Structure 1
Amino acid sequence: MKTVGVILAGGRSSRMGTDKALVEIHGVSLLDRAIGRLSPQVDALAINSNVSIADRPLPILPDATAAFDGPLAGVLASLKWATSLGANHLATVAVDTPFFPLDLVRRLAEIETSGIALARSGGRSHPVFALWPVVVLDPLEAFLEKAETRRVMTFLKSYGYESVDFLEKPFDPFFNINTPQDLMAAVEMETSLS
């Protein structure tokens, strides 16, 4: 099974006030942290972004739709890229989640489902931390063309998914950074690990 990965960094970062992908924890950008965590888990890696990200030797995939349709537009572009590489599955992660599991892809791949496998912690789903079969490309494209909502969970419920639970020790591995206060909390979390 060939699995490729994409870091979803196409958001507007409006609550942060600057591009979240480039903010740093102890001198390492969130983008470089995500690259370091996901790269060993997949056969090839790309970044979904709607802005130029210099100095990264990875493909940059802009959203597949003209309007800002949220994460699903990035997933659609990523599925098209994955299909072009002959991959069976696409693993996606969000750039603003600096502690996502180092065994994320393996754990998601272990469950038997013909649908999408997604991460869950503390009873809460994390729909962009998912393993997508590439056959979902056409149904997702059709969904984005006619749907009244662009919510990831709405699509997942219509297509079918299974969840994989991850422990929240020493803290939730899917803690995400949206604000400067969240960034300060993440720095404290990182410090507590060393």
Structure 2
Amino acid sequence: MSVLGAIFAGGEARRFGSDKASAEILGVKLLDRVAARLRAQSDAVIVVGREWPGLCCAPDIPRPGMGPLGALAGALAFAREAGFDRVLTSGCDLPDLPLDLIEQLAPGPAVAEGQPLLGLWPSDMGGLLKDYLESGGDLAMRSWIAQAGVRRVMLSASPSNINTPEELAAFLADDRMGD
């Protein structure tokens, strides 16, 4: 089965105070670090919600401003059109996402407990999600997860989530950083 890695990067990063996707860890931009970790477990990687050098991009669907669910709908539509069976998703702010994430979440649909942007989705769920969004469904990821019957999986290790400059500084000081 073919897997598309998709990075959600359309948020405003208000808590971070600047473009967190471009923040650097050992000279590597945060989004590029996430892309490398997704690339290790997928056939291709895209970014959703913005342009990024070196990666194909997909728009949020049905329109920008719908948060992670719009990004997920965009990723699922891209995957289906490109012939991918599944989509492995992450936010751009999870620099140490597990390199065995796909195995932990399989078979899907499934999300990581406490990190619902880390997910494994069959690409054929895109139409259902698009209909949900167009009908005015709740834009909270947890609402969609509950309605769609998505499994929640406790990962073997909790990945870091970088939302503030302080969290980035703590990550840089952590011994796990190179993992």
What TM-score does the superposition give when structure 2 sets the normalisation length? Answer: 0.92
Deviation at 1:185?
A: 0.9
Which residue is equivalent to 1:153?
142
Counterpart check, 1:126 vs 2:123: no
CA RMSD after TM alignment: 1.8
- Deviations along 1:118-159, one digit per CA (max 9) or x if unpaired, are 112xxxx32111111112111101111123520111011101
- Cα 1:167–1:146 shift into 2, 3 Å: same
Equivalence map 1:44-63=2 (5 Å): 44-50=44-50, 52-53=51-52, 55-56=53-54, 58-63=55-60
Q: Contact 2:104–2:155 (CA<8 Å) still a contact in 1?
A: no
Unaligned runs of 5+ in 1: none
Deviation at 1:69?
A: 0.7
Cα distance in structure 1, aligned partners of 2:40 and 2:177: 24
- Deviations along 1:52-100, one digit per CA (max 9) or x if unpaired, are 32x32x2011212334010111111111110011111111011101111
Deviation at 1:108?
A: 1.3
State the secondary structure of the residue aligned to 2:40: helix
Q: Contact 1:10–1:62 (CA<8 Å) still a contact in 2?
A: no
Equivalence map 1:78-97=2 (5 Å): 78-97=75-94
Q: Contact 2:112–2:118 (CA<8 Å) still a contact in 1?
A: yes
Cα distance in structure 2, aligned partners of 1:129 and 1:2: 18
What TM-score does the superposition give when structure 1 sets the normalisation length? Answer: 0.85
Which residue is equivalent to 1:187?
172
Identity, in percent, stands at: 34
Deviation at 1:46?
A: 0.5
Which residue is equivalent to 2:5?
5
- Cα 1:80–1:17 shift into 2, 3 Å: same
State the secondary structure of the residue aligned to 1:118: strand
- Cα 1:78–1:193 shift into 2, 3 Å: closer
Cα distance in structure 2, aligned partners of 1:193 and 1:5: 21
